[in-house]
Amino acid sequence: MKLIRFVTNLAAHGGAGQPVPAKRAMPEWFKHAESFYTTAATSDELRPGLKECKPYMDIMMSGYYLVWPCDVHVKIAEDGSLDITWESDKVGQIIAERPKEMGHTMPRPYGFAPNHLVFAGMWGWRTPKGWSTIVTHPINQVELPFYTISAFMDSDEFWGAGNIPFFIREGWEGTIKEGTPFAQIIPVKRESWIMAENDQGLAGTLEAHAKIVRDEKRSYKRTMWHRKEYN
């Protein structure tokens, strides 16, 4: 089993915002999602639901979350600008706005304010030699009022606590609660790849595999799925 080591400056932050395995911080809507369901047309037949989709579940539970270290309050000022505050003696300046010249060609996520914000890194992490990390928005959590920009970091060589860009949903006001996942950290092994554009050697099993994922007996789960562990 591989070891990922998280680290923070205790003197500056006191350990606030401790990262957690993603599986320990699943959103409520996923916790209450159905494992099986019926429809009016098939009331006598249980069908596998969202929680039985192993590829979906796996990505939700993969890796680790960086979380907000305190409650963050977002208001829209009279001039239309964002007014972002936080009340905590555990952290200092955790949010800043980059000048408009920085990343001005980068398209903004649809429905989000154009303000190019950054979350001041409080935690770094180190992976084993040859392993990098994908840093991205908490996957499939489109309900969050912010959107975190993705990156790919060679965290076996660099484990400093850098800034992570994000955007706030346009017109949104409210409080982002302490402990809310901010970014998902997924370790990946660095290897060289080459693409076979249309490998007809796989064509014979293409449709068979497509049927497996719709198999009511859940053949993918029983015969092909491998459990992933992030603790």
**Domain assignment of residue 207, yes or no:** no
**Domain assignment of residue 111, yes or no:** yes
Q: Which of 158, 148, 90, 77 is nearest to 119 (CA)?
A: 148
Assessment of whether the complete model's pTM goes beyond 0.75: yes
CATH of residue 148's domain is 2.70.40.10
| Domain interval for residue 12 | 5-26+61-191
**Domain assignment of residue 209, yes or no:** no
**Domain assignment of residue 90, yes or no:** yes
Q: Which of 180, 183, 181, 176 is nearest to 161 (CA)?
A: 183
CA distance 23 to 150: 20
CA distance 81 to 168: 11
pLDDT in single tens digits along all 231 residues of the chain: 999 999 998 888 888 999 999 999 999 999 999 988 888 776 677 878 888 888 999 999 999 999 999 999 999 998 888 999 998 777 888 999 998 888 889 899 999 999 999 998 789 999 999 999 999 999 999 999 999 999 999 999 998 888 999 999 999 999 999 999 999 999 999 999 999 888 787 777 777 776 666 666 667 777 777 888 999
Structure tokens, 154: 């060679």
Q: What's residue 162's pLDDT?
A: 85
**Domain assignment of residue 220, yes or no:** no
How many structural domains is the chain composed of?
1
Backbone angles phi, psi at 118, to 5 degrees: -135, 140
